[in-house]
């Protein structure tokens, strides 16, 4: 039996990821596609207003405004699964689908909960997105295709229901200055049971100290821009959230959680929550349940991310440092040494470099903005062709270097946005939002005024081409990464990825300069020949341990070493 199990394991490591059972795939085998349901596809116009009546200040629906619901839903997502799978994605990360506060904000500055992060009911689907049956149908349809579904979850805060008698928008008051009650919190009349489960309506389960400054103690105890900050150190909150999210695993057999605002929750909470979720998933026959925390911020480097894998116990975190290194390198004037510095920090993660291979890596997202926006900022005088090449190069790094690629919906259609947050949340279906429709897309003459699900778009075809290579070559998913060459100037960056099954060396070489590259690249001394998977690779080493390569501006190559 032991021999049979060994041979089966050997087989699963060598067959393409698509041929394995989706349950057997490791996190690093996936290509994740991230989307906000409201901005993806409208499959049912009857739920656009979420069952509410009145104007946009009640229903939250206004497809002409970037901060309100536009009508996308779960039925629309199911309708487009062919499109997502055709891109090469194997897992779908869906922004929160829980029932939300429809509209909030001060007069004249209101917006809607279209994004899903203002939860009132953690146990059900927001009617703007559909029903629990729709979510079950989505997970079932994805699983039937061998695709996984990751939920976006929140424990740090709830919707903005609690008020303070002293002020409408209150500054943070520290424990040292106010060791007792900082403010006098109350729940407005008629809102006493606005949240579900009902334990969330207990005002003593919140810190009630005013708005976080996102520094010091306020980072874990302050309200997140007026959103009610849960006292997650309370055993009742720990048990309550374990029950809530364990039920989602039980009911729907989802495959992982992306954890919003993870660094704003005390680490002791995660020390209890994460093992409980993994145990629940394992009991449901989900052995590779992927939990990754959002440790957001500007200027993050690996150490500031890795500490959360040690102290909080997160198995993985979103790799903000990867994003910054790629932006510096491809959308800025930095040398490729920024990438080397990034990967030199991999041993800092709990589990070391092997754990770093499970970090979700990304070049665009709904909060920080799209890579096209960064490239245009960094090179405002660049031609359309150069912008396209730089965006493609950034995507190539995300799809071939260590980690789990996360494609933000729209990037494959040339979306660039106008900035961060709402300015990076364009509709994939035909948009009525003027500030989106005047954007110049990359690689196409189309605009967001038309639906953008075009499999012939050059970026869609490019991503599909590289994800196919990643699927078919184990080294590009699970291979140990060795940085071979880098520079303090734009130009050469090279890594090897070693096939864990047969030791075959795969060489990936980038030219980040807007000029041709001719250079010698270090390789393993036992590598004696290469074939081209992408680009034109030299067939043989110049001498033992060295390969002479040539690359056009802003291009790359993937070279597969000869079998040993």
User: What torsion do the CA atoms of 97, 98, 103, 105 make, to the nearest 10 degrees?
Assistant: -100
| Residue in 134, 294, 499, 555 annotated catalytic | 294
| Annotation marks residue 260 as catalytic | yes
Q: Tokens 């100037």 sit at which residue?
A: 489
CA distance 499 to 379: 37
CA distance 331 to 378: 5
The answer to whether 315 touches 309, Cβ cutoff 8 Å, is yes
How many Å separate Cα 224 from the centre of its chain?
20
The answer to whether 373 touches 417, Cβ cutoff 8 Å, is yes
DSSP string across 197-257? SGGGG-GGGB----B--SSTTHHHHSBBTTB-BB-TTSHHHHHHHHHHHHHHHHHH---EE
The 3-class SS string of 379-394 reads CCCCCHHHHHHHHHHH
User: What torsion do the CA atoms of 192, 196, 202, 208 make, to the nearest 10 degrees?
Assistant: -90
Six token digits for residue 247: 């039920």
Q: Among 547, 554, 465, which Cα is nearest to 505's?
A: 547
3-state secondary structure of 326: helix
CA distance 456 to 459: 8
Burial class (CB in 10 A: 0-12, 13-18, 19+), 368: buried
As separate numbers, helices (DSSP H) first and strands (DSSP E) second, the chain gives 17, 21
How many Å separate Cα 456 from the centre of its chain?
24
CA distance 174 to 171: 10
Query: What is the chain's length?
Result: 564
CA distance 379 to 18: 38
Axis-axis angle for helices 132-144, 235-252 (nearest 10): 60
| Annotation marks residue 41 as catalytic | no
DSSP letter (8 states) at residue 436: H
Phi, psi of 301 (to 5 degrees): -125, 170
| Residue in 126, 260, 411, 555 annotated catalytic | 260
Task: Give the dihedral sign, CA 469/472/477/482.
Answer: negative
Q: Which residues are catalytically annotated?
A: 260, 294
């Amino acid at each position: 039996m032991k021999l049979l199990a060994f041979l089966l394991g050997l087989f699963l490591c060598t067959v393409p990821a698509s041929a394995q059972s989706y349950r057997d795939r490791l996190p690093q085998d996936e290509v994740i596609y991230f989307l906000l349901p409201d901005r993806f596809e409208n499959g049912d116009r009857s739920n656009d207003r979420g069952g509410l009546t009145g104007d946009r200040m009640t229903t939250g629906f206004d497809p002409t405004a970037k901060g309100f619901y536009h009508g996308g839903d779960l039925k629309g997502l199911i309708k487009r699964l062919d499109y997502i799978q055709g891109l090469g994605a194997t897992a779908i990360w869906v922004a929160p689908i829980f029932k939300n506060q429809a509209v909030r904000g001060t007069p004249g500055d209101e917006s809607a909960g279209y994004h899903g992060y203002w939860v009132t009911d953690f146990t059900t689907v927001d009617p703007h997105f559909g029903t629990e049956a729709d979510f079950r149908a989505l997970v079932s349809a994805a699983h039937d295709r061998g695709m996984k579904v990751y939920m976006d979850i929140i424990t740090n805060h709830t919707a903005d229901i609690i008020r303070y008698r002293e002020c409408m928008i209150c500054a943070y008051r520290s424990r040292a200055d106010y060791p007792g009650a900082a403010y006098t919190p109350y729940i407005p009349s008629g809102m006493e049971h606005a949240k579900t489960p009902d334990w969330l309506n207990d005002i003593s389960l919140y810190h009630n100290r005013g708005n976080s400054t996102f520094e010091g103690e306020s980072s874990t105890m302050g309200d997140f821009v007026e959103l009610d900050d849960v006292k997650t150190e309370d055993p009742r909150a720990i048990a309550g959230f374990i029950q809530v999210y364990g039920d989602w695993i039980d009911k729907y057999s989802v495959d992982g959680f992306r954890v919003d605002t993870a660094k704003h929750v005390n680490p002791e909470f995660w020390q209890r929550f994460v093992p409980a979720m993994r145990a629940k998933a394992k009991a449901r026959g989900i052995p590779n349940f992927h939990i990754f925390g959002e440790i957001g911020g500007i200027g993050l480097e690996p150490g500031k991310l890795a500490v959360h894998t040690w102290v909080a116990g997160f198995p993985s975190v979103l790799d903000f440092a990867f994003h910054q290194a790629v932006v510096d390198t491809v959308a800025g004037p930095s040398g490729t040494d920024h990438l080397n510095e990034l990967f030199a920090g991999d041993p800092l993660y709990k589990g070391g470099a092997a754990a770093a291979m499970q970090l979700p890596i990304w070049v665009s997202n709904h909060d920080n903005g799209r890579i096209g926006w960064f490239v245009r900022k960094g090179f405002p005088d660049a031609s359309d062709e150069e912008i396209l090449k730089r965006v493609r190069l950034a995507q190539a790094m995300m799809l071939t270097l260590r980690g789990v690629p996360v494609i933000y919906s729209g990037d494959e259609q040339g979306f660039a946005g106008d900035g961060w947050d709402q300015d990076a949340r364009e509709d994939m279906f035909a948009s009525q939002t003027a500030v989106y429709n005047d954007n110049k897309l990359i690689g196409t003459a189309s605009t967001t005024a038309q639906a953008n699900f075009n499999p012939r778009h050059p970026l869609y075809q490019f991503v599909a081409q590289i994800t196919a290579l990643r699927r078919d070559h184990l080294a590009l998913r699970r291979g140990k990464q060795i940085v071979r060459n880098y520079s303090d100037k734009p130009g050469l960056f090279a890594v090897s990825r070693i096939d864990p099954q047969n030791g075959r060396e795969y060489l990936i070489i980038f030219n980040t300069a807007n000029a041709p590259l001719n250079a010698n690249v270090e390789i393993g001394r036992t590598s004696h020949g290469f074939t081209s998977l992408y680009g034109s690779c030299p067939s043989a080493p110049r001498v033992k341990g060295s390969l002479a390569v040539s690359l056009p501006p802003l291009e790359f190559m993937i070279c597969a070493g000869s079998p040993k």
